Amino acid sequence: MAKLGRLLTAMVTPMDEAGKVDWDQTKRLANALLDSGSDGMVVGATTGEGPTLRHEEKLRLWGEVKAAVGERGAVVANTGNYSTWESIQMSREFPTTTSRPRRASTSTSKPSPDQPTCRAFFTTFPAAPA
């Protein structure tokens, strides 16, 4: 597994003219970030349109980026969402994806009634269970 390194870039998610994720451009961008000096990237966070992507798109996004860069750089997958419940569900489902990027989830908004505290957490998974 790639180490986090010193420079992680918040990667945007390239979209096509129809507003869908451009998967080929996404892979090219991920490699271009590493080629230009980044040690890794944060994928699917607010800079990467995370709040607007569907659940399936996020899972595919993490897998496509990790497959494209392999062990060349760190891939930090944002599992956070504006909904605490959805963030927990995404984090639980995360290890079942085919790729194994790191995952991060943060909450920086004000607490909602079902969210008594705002906490940020970062978890590294060396490997998913078989």
Record the pTM: 0.70
**How many distinct structural domains can be found in the chain?**
1
For 12-60, how does the pLDDT look when each residue is reduced to its tens digit (9 = 90+)?
A: 999 999 999 999 999 999 999 999 999 999 998 888 788 888 888 988 9
Q: What is d(CA 66, CA 116) in angstroms, rounded to the nearest whole number?
A: 34
Assigned domain for 38 exists: yes
Q: Where are the alpha helices (DSSP H) in the chain?
A: 23-35, 55-69, 84-93
Assigned domain for 77 exists: yes
Q: What is d(CA 23, CA 11) in angstroms, rounded to the nearest whole number?
A: 13
CATH number for position 80: 3.20.20.70
Range of the domain at 55: 8-123
Give CB contacts under 8 A, 24+ apart, made by 68-71.
Answer: 68/26, 68/27, 68/30, 68/31, 69/30, 69/31, 69/34, 69/41, 71/1, 71/2
